[in-house]
Structure 1
Amino acid sequence: MKSRLKNLYKYLIENRKHEVNGWHKAYRDFYSQVAQIRERITSGEGLSQNDEAFLKQLIYEKSNGIASRGQSVLSNDNFQSFIKNKNFISALEKFILIPNSENFTIFSDSWSNQGKSNNPVLVNRVAAACTLEVSTTVDSGKFNQVFRGIRI
């Protein structure tokens, strides 16, 4: 077991140190942006059309510093529909403000209620951007693959 962990660490961390360092900086930078939005929401200023660039990076773009969207693609039309929906934005604001299990469920349900597409990777990526309490491995299949590889 020790040997497998050592090999996995070497493969994932040591051999790709430049990728890990670059990802970590991008992760911290975007997490800081989310924290700034959280402060604005706390002070009573909600998300607006002026936040489209932030929302695009959080939800739509291929990579946002937290994680890649993988094969979970959202069309620009659907993205625009999401950010113009007051219920969706309200659920997102609640989750950014208090990223707990209850608000995650509300946000996830709001996403599903759009009826546009099923994007669990994107939903999980939003969660990983809002709290440090979850994994940034947003594709549960990939997470399970790594977990199976290292479990005792």
Structure 2
Amino acid sequence: MKGLQVIIFLTTALGLLTGCNVKDKLEKMDKAKADSEFIMNNLTKPDITDRFPEKYFPKQQVKPFIDTLTKHCDFGNKRGKFVDFFTMSINGASKTAYIYEYILNCDSLRFIYIYDFDTKEPELQNFKIEGIEIENKMIIDPSKQLLNSGTE
């Protein structure tokens, strides 16, 4: 009987811990998505580079890059959307990529924001830009892509 009580206790404790971990991960995913949307919608703002952690994105490199991108691409008239997200584990670290595609006057581009979830708060760790015509394995449902959805 005592063994059954221990098993019930351990099962309950494990269930609670798992539930807390899932809730924590979902909260981090919501925060990271909100952050990626904020960056995407405010790339033309002068202080947006503050959202890029210095340890991964040195200001002397990121600021000129963002300035050049926004100067030549007219983000005020961008057409596009959030396309997908992709969770991954890299060397045991939990990460999630948020993927956006936009038609701009300079090109049609895919913006990928990759967040580290092994920190207390989700942290932007990588930022990639590629053409939307390039196949990307992180997009699970290709019908969501601008090229395939008819959305502009």
| TM value normalised by structure 1 | 0.32
Determine which structure has the larger strand proportion and give its number: 2
| TM value normalised by structure 2 | 0.32
Tell which structure's C-alpha radius of gyration is larger.
2
Structure of higher RCO (CA pairs closer than 8 Å, 6+ residues apart):
1
Determine which structure has the larger helix proportion and give its number: 1
